Amino acid sequence: MTFLIPRKPTRRSVLRGMLGSAAISVSLPFLDCFLNTNGTALAATGAPLPVRFGTWFWGLGQTPGRAISNKMGAGIEFLDECKALIPYRDHINYFSNFNTPLDGKVSQVHFTGWVAARTGEAPGRDRDVRLPTLDVLVGDLIGSGSRFRSLDVSCTGNPKDSYSFRSAGAPNTAEVSPVSFYARVFGPEFVDPNKGDFKADPNVVLRKSVLSAVNEQSKQFVSTLGAEDKARIDQYFTSIRQLEDNLAAQMQKPEANAACHVPGLPVEGQIGTEVGFAQTNHKLMTDLMVLALACNQTKLFNMLYSDSGSSLRLPGTSQNHHNLTHEEPNDPKLGYQVLSAKFATWSMEAFGYFLEAFSKVREGDGTLLDNTFIFANSDTSHAKIHLNDNIPIMTAGKAGGRLKTGLHIDGGGNPLSRVGFTALQIMGVPVEAWGSGALRTSKPITEIMA
Amino acid sequence: MIGVSLRKYLRAGLAGVVAVALSSCGPKEPAVSGGSTVVRQITEAQYRNIIRDVFGSSVTIIGRFDAPGREAGLLAVGASKADIAPATLERYDNLGRSIASQVMEEKRRANLVSCTPKAPKEADDACARDFLGKVGRMLYRRPLTSAELDLETRIATEAAKARGDFYAGLEFALAGMLVTPQFLFIAEATEADPDHAGLQRLTGLSKASRLSFLLWNTAPDEELLAAAEKGDLNTKRGMERQIDRMLDSPAVEAGVRNFFSDMLGFDAVEQLAKDTIIYPAYSSTVANDLKEQTLRTLVDLLVTKDGDYRDIFTSRKTFMSRQLAMVNRISAPTETTWVPYEFAENDPRSGIQTQVSFLALHSHPGMSSPTLRGKAVREIFLCQAVPPPPGDVNFDNFNNAAVAKTARERLTVHRTNPTCAGCHKVVDPIGLTLENFDGMGQFRTTENGVPIDVSGDLDGQPFEGGVGLGKVLHDSPAATSCVINRVYAYATGRAAGRGDVAFIDYLEKRFAADGFRFKSLLRTIAESDAFSTVAAKPASQSNKVAFDASGHKELQP
């Protein structure tokens, strides 16, 4: 499934013409075609506030009967494990009873669930992500025109904990350190959209023209490869186009936004799977993420609090969250795994913090949360038995008014891909059906479409 | 000095005799069917080595690289499937710009830029062309095409004019080269093979790259490129001369280290986490040292001493750092560097499967795991696949497991569930023999006050402890066959397939005839026709038969 990004013939084509074609002997104004005589860029266009899209992930689901009541419809009734979400319940939709039919494929534990939710396909084998993930599809539509195509963060310390893929061979690996995340977004190349004296960096202009030329030249190189080899490195060319797009975006002033300000450099703490480290780094990187969005540095994000099959752990204990879900006995009085349930509660506290941060950023008459579509999911429902059905999925935010919220939706055993499909439709991705096999669907969840 | 030369002389003489003997009556390479070309993304180590070779070690490379996924047990095969996502390209772009800017710093450019521009503030086509042509040849591992060189020169010229600085022009052109697919992917070209009708062979330059990445884990040096361009690599003599030179070079250590880092999964050390309350001896220094200890052990045994591969499972000789001495609970060496160390005859440690690297990597952060260790022995040393745990398992039995004192007791519970028993019974009896090493590889005799029983078996062969495991692995034909498969896949960038069965068979015989010398294995593969012959059509269809989807040989029931 490929989506063409509508492209205007822009300065890029001009540049490509300059450097890419064989007959070039242009010696002069290398820069002048981009900049006006003052060396300033185009003024802000006054476009409406952009709608952002992003994902939030946590591992190992929720404890049955402790997260949400069975009451469906308006007025979501969150229980103990989701207490932290109560303040945002009118901004959330919670999806229950959506299943993951496998078409006879073997369940790859802690993998099948998230791949099905994010790509609409149950994987045939471990680590095989054949279809692009939701965020990448939405990114093809809204991702260009920003300094960063997407900002991807993992709070586990492992950059490979990323569930954003265009193809199996090329995951978008994540930032794991608040300090490097800060440096990437707010480092020397950051342009404050609220400052009046914008001047495109001539180096950015040069870099972009070099990349355009490299891209053209590379095509000749690739034409010498066999068909299979050529297809193999297809993603590289998408990436280089996106990098050009990012640089093009930096040649214009980002849209001003009163909510944007440059944060202070975070203090580097410890990074790793200790739950306390993950919690702290999640807070630090959430604070940076909302400002990156407010400062119009990107429209897309992926935030991972814990990995699929969570490797988070408490200091001084021999079993991590994952081992606990399997081996911790049920408390005889309470009837559930107490420590595992704590981890699940902490996950929802982190999600609550994430939503709080979005709702604190004022934008126009509303908040950043109002202008964002957040797709949140886990990898299993009841982790103790690796259950792929009824995986908890939520949406949060109103997507600029396109998404109705505050509902607990009963999937009645329908495939979970319906949630992802609905997200694509709400974000405007031109797609009539999505997913493969028993997960293929063409039925959006209309209750949440405004 | 005299001793060394004499030894070298003798070795060369003996090698000649052995080669003659083999060519007359030893195992012969079977007829080739032709492999396939691959396009490999260069790895972090290769990137770093190439930049060091071309621009010197004073150029710092600070930034994160994204490792490819592991395929058929190797990142090197994963690199043939890896593509570059936007976030990864952004990182390469940052790295490339940082390197280019360092190269053009005043203190370095005098040495690195091959010519002096007419005026430093102006463009100079001829000088830019000279520099970019030379550097490009090393980075792309072949001479640039005239279109490529024209373009690079034009970029340098335009940028120099825009910035009013010749070196700034070179900087932009070089940064651009460092994000091209020509640099970031190792692509292979073929031509008709006059020696094998109907087949293709790698061009001399593509052969040079395969050789160099196999033996040195870096791009071909000037001599190898020149040999390729002269056509020397199309002759047996020419190939042998280069292979001899490369195997005799100290750079072969980097190649051997990289192979074993890959085979042993040492990329995971970067993410290794141990609970420091439970294991106070653990630190990031220990994490680095445990990997280093094993690699030093292997290089010493297999390269320096040109020893028998099977001895990696039984050798008591290793190297020790102060930090690791603490973990091994032996008196720390007074030196701050690595020192040779030999475990006593009755010590529970001998062989790399009893080293901290193996034990700590295949454990949980706060406890050991016989299951993970047993699985690692099968997958890493024997190339056997262990299926993933099943879904929808009822773990209610674990309510009873909470009272178990030892891993052996806990795992007995798994074996009561028929869904789990199938896999646990093929891995646990191996892993349980390493239970007298805790989750970070420290020796212990009890767990929760109960003495640890380290008896176990591998496919019905009983033994005791890690030393016993080493003896079984030493004598296991699966272990030598496994390393052959891995080296061949590492060399060609693809898992051996149906078309390679006869060749692998030949390698097994030859490896045995050569006394299981690892360097001989490298030589046999590098010198073989199979190494550089390519089927006329890509043979990708035939690559999956002998191996299952994860690239491992199926477990024998």
pLDDT in tens, chain A (450 residues): 333 333 333 333 333 333 433 333 333 223 333 333 333 232 334 456 789 999 999 999 999 999 999 999 999 999 999 999 999 999 999 999 999 999 888 888 899 999 999 999 999 887 889 899 999 999 999 998 899 999 999 999 999 999 999 887 788 899 999 999 999 999 999 999 998 888 889 999 999 999 999 888 888 888 888 887 888 888 899 999 999 999 999 998 888 889 999 999 999 889 999 999 999 999 999 999 999 999 999 999 999 999 999 999 999 998 899 999 988 989 999 999 999 999 999 999 999 999 999 999 999 889 999 999 999 999 999 888 888 999 999 999 999 999 999 999 999 999 999 999 999 999 999 999 999 999 999 999 999 999
Residue type, A250: Q
* Nearest-angstrom CA–CA distance, B43 and B88: 12
A213 assigned to some structural domain: no
User: Reduced to 3 states, what is the DSSP secondary structure of residue A442?
Assistant: coil
* Nearest-angstrom CA–CA distance, B174 and B162: 16
Q: Is the pLDDT of residue B42 over 50?
A: yes
Q: CB-CB: which of B145, B395, B540 is closest to A326?
A: B395
In the prediction, which pLDDT does A113 show? 95
Cα→Cα distances A122→A389, A432, A435, A442, Å: 12, 19, 9, 17
- Report which secondary-structure segment, H or E, holds B447: strand B446-447
Residues of A whose CB is below 8 A from B39: 225, 229, 232-233
Q: What is the number of CB-based contacts under 8 A between chain A and chain B?
A: 215
Q: Which of A15, A30, A233 to mutate to probe the B interface, most B CBs <10 Å?
A: A233
Determine whether the interchain pair A385/B393 forms a contact, defined as Cβ–Cβ distance below 8 Å: yes
Q: Is B22 on the interface with A (CB under 8 A)?
A: no
B positions 148-167 inside 8 Å of A (CB) = 148, 151, 154-155, 158-159, 161-163
- Range B27-38 burial, b when 16+ CB lie within 10 A, else e: bebbebbbbbbb
Kindly tell me the sign of the dihedral angle through the C-alpha atoms of B507, B512, B518, B523.
negative
Determine whether the interchain pair B366/A229 forms a contact, defined as Cβ–Cβ distance below 8 Å: no
Token look-up 């929720």 returns A62
Average pLDDT over residues B453-465: 96
Q: Is A61 on the interface with B (CB under 8 A)?
A: no
Q: Is the pLDDT of residue B454 over 60?
A: yes
Q: How far is CA B137 from the centre of its chain?
A: 25
What length is written for chain A?
A: 450
Using CA coordinates, name the residue in chain A closest to B363: A318
Cβ(A294)–Cβ(A318) below 8 Å: no
Q: How many helices (H) and strands (E) does chain B have?
A: 24, 11
Q: CB-CB: which of A150, A206, A326 is closest to B162?
A: A206
A228 assigned to some structural domain: no
A positions 138-157 inside 8 Å of B (CB) = 148-150, 152, 157
CA distance B202 to chain A (A): 13
Cβ(A289)–Cβ(A302) below 8 Å: no
Residues of A whose CB is below 8 A from B179: 211, 214, 240
Q: Is B265 on the interface with A (CB under 8 A)?
A: no
A24 assigned to some structural domain: no
Q: CB-CB: which of B66, B388, B540 is closest to A108?
A: B388
Q: Is the pLDDT of residue B544 over 50?
A: no
Cα→Cα distances A401→A124, A289, A355, B271, Å: 37, 22, 17, 42
* Nearest-angstrom CA–CA distance, A92 and A289: 20
The CA-to-CA distance between both ends of chain B, in Å, stands at 55
Q: Is B189 on the interface with A (CB under 8 A)?
A: yes
Determine whether the interchain pair A173/B402 forms a contact, defined as Cβ–Cβ distance below 8 Å: no
In the prediction, which pLDDT does A233 show? 87
In the prediction, which pLDDT does A9 show? 34
Cβ(B163)–Cβ(B155) below 8 Å: no
- The C-alpha angle with vertex A274 and arms to A273 and A276, in degrees rounded to 5, equals 125
Complex prediction ipTM? 0.85
Q: Is B366 on the interface with A (CB under 8 A)?
A: yes
Residues of B whose CB is below 8 A from A239: 84-86, 88-89
User: Reduced to 3 states, what is the DSSP secondary structure of residue A418?
Assistant: helix
Residue type, A276: G
- Mean residue pLDDT of chain B comes to 89
CA distance A162 to chain B (A): 11
Q: Which of A128, A210, A319, A321 to mutate to probe the B interface, most B CBs <10 Å?
A: A210
Residues of A whose CB is below 8 A from B184: 236
Average pLDDT over residues B351-379: 96
Using CA coordinates, name the residue in chain B closest to A151: B87
Q: Is the pLDDT of residue B552 over 80?
A: no
Burial of A252 (0-12, 13-18, 19+ CB in 10 A): middle
Q: What's the CATH code of the domain at A439?
A: 3.40.720.10
Residues of A whose CB is below 8 A from B85: 165-166, 170-173, 235, 239
Kindly tell me the sign of the dihedral angle through the C-alpha atoms of A167, B69, A118, A427.
negative
A170 assigned to some structural domain: yes
CA distance B85 to chain A (A): 5
Q: CB-CB: which of A218, A228, A323 is closest to B181?
A: A218
Q: Quick one: which of B313, B314, B271, B319 has its CA closest to B294? A: B319
CA distance B20 to chain A (A): 40
Residues of B whose CB is below 8 A from A330: 399
* Nearest-angstrom CA–CA distance, A102 and A83: 33
Two tokens, residue B19: 């080669």
Two tokens, residue B296: 């030093």
Q: Is A41 on the interface with B (CB under 8 A)?
A: no
Q: Quick one: which of B7, B159, B277, B152 has its CA closest to A318? A: B277
- The C-alpha angle with vertex A309 and arms to A308 and A310, in degrees rounded to 5, equals 85
Residues of A whose CB is below 8 A from B84: 170, 233, 235-236, 239
**Region of residue B392 (phi > 0: left; psi between -120 and 50: alpha; otherwise: beta):** left
A404 assigned to some structural domain: yes
Q: How far is CA A81 from the centre of its chain?
A: 24
Q: Quick one: which of B187, B206, B177 has its CA closest to A230? A: B187
* Nearest-angstrom CA–CA distance, A384 and B401: 14
* Nearest-angstrom CA–CA distance, A218 and B172: 17
Q: Is A323 on the interface with B (CB under 8 A)?
A: yes
Q: Is B419 on the interface with A (CB under 8 A)?
A: no
A positions 357-386 inside 8 Å of B (CB) = 384-386
In the prediction, which pLDDT does A167 show? 81
**DSSP assignment string, A291-327:** HHHHTTS-SEEEEESS-TT---B-TT-S--HHHHHHH
* Nearest-angstrom CA–CA distance, A368 and A357: 9
Determine whether the interchain pair A213/B151 forms a contact, defined as Cβ–Cβ distance below 8 Å: yes
Determine whether the interchain pair B364/A323 forms a contact, defined as Cβ–Cβ distance below 8 Å: yes
Domain residue limits at A188: 52-194+264-448
Helices (H), B104-231: 106-112, 125-140, 146-163, 166-177, 181-184, 204-215, 222-230
Two tokens, residue B135: 């550097």
Determine whether the interchain pair A224/B394 forms a contact, defined as Cβ–Cβ distance below 8 Å: no
Determine whether the interchain pair B87/A225 forms a contact, defined as Cβ–Cβ distance below 8 Å: no
B394 pLDDT band (50/70/90 cuts)? Answer: low
Q: Is the pLDDT of residue B550 over 50?
A: no
B522 pLDDT band (50/70/90 cuts)? Answer: very high
**DSSP assignment string, A206-256:** HHHHHHHHHHHHHHHHHHTS-HHHHHHTHHHHHHHHHHHHHHHHHTSPPPP
Q: CB-CB: which of A24, A125, A313 is closest to B365?
A: A313
Q: Is B405 on the interface with A (CB under 8 A)?
A: no
The number of folded domains in chain A is 1
- Range A103-130 burial, b when 16+ CB lie within 10 A, else e: eeebbbbbbbbbbbbbbbbbbeeeeebe
HSE value, Cβ hemisphere, 13 Å, CA-based, for B21: 9
CA distance B395 to chain A (A): 6
CA distance A30 to chain B (A): 6
